[in-house]
Amino acid sequence: MSDPIRLDIEDSIAIITLARPEKLNALDEAMIAGLAAAAERIDRHGSIRAAILTGEGKGFCAGGDIAAWGKVSPLDMGQRWVRDGHRVFDALTRLRAPLIAAINGHALGGGLELAATADIRIAEEQAKFGLPETGIGMVPGWSGTQRLVTRFGAAAVRRLALTGEIVTAERALQLGLIDEIAPRGHGLEQARELARKISARAPVANAVAKQMINAAEGEDAAAAIEILAGSLVSYTDDLKEGVASFVEKRPPQFKGQ
């Protein structure tokens, strides 16, 4: 069996591909684990300046695989399935490198929640979007009622979640679910072009700008403040003096610089 998540690195651009086309890239436990590993590798790879998330075959992601979660116990549903998904989706959202979703087909339920982890979403013209969970007695579980509301607005998410309506790429653009529409088969190419544009800019400035925007949306705001503060003081002579004095076992002589 091939790896259901592929990670390819092209110069300064990482491409994450959901590779379970026979199931329209529906997410199971192996794919969740693969996404977690990909996110960790990207964040530890210092030369990556932009990342792309896409799907293999005709679909971007059909959501959580019902066969995978349909028989899960109520306790495991909350403690394992939902929690694991949140942990991985949070990691993708908080990648240092800007993330672009190249949506090459349907993004439904967990697939739309996955697309929402990206900073920018490019959808091919045939893609469709929706939150169909309530039609089978389930609710959105991977931040469909939280991150989606922050990023897309409560009115749009309320309509999708409560009616189960499936919308076209054109309608998704009007609702703010996506940022651009690409011709069929050209979503990844358009995403690569945008990733190259992002990669040409100052990577530290881009990473900090992304952190500040995420914080404004409520994405790990406390950590963002401490990350930026820690980075700032690490440039000071006082820190160098503090470390040197500790190593040399003497009182520090701070100069406020």
Q: Which residues of the chain are in CATH 3.90.226.10 domains?
A: 5-199
Q: Looking only at Cα atoms, what is the longest distance across the chain?
A: 68
133 is catalytic: yes
Which of the residues 10, 22, 56, 113 is marked catalytic?
A: 113
Instruction: Report the predicted TM-score, pTM, of the whole model to 2 decimal places.
Output: 0.90
Tokens coding 235: 């440039």
Within the chain, where are the H helices? 29-44, 66-69, 74-76, 83-93, 110-115, 147-152, 154-163, 169-175, 187-199, 203-216, 221-233, 237-248
Going residue by residue through the chain (257 aa), what tens digit of pLDDT does each one get?
Answer: 468 999 999 999 999 999 999 999 999 889 999 999 999 999 999 899 999 999 999 999 998 876 766 666 666 665 667 788 889 999 999 999 999 999 999 999 999 999 999 999 999 999 999 999 999 888 888 888 899 999 999 999 999 999 999 999 999 999 999 999 999 999 999 999 999 999 999 999 999 999 999 999 988 777 778 777 888 888 899 888 889 998 999 999 989 88
Tokens coding 118: 């990206």
Q: For the domain 5-199, what is the CATH code?
A: 3.90.226.10
56 is catalytic: no
Which of the residues 29, 56, 125, 133 is marked catalytic?
A: 133
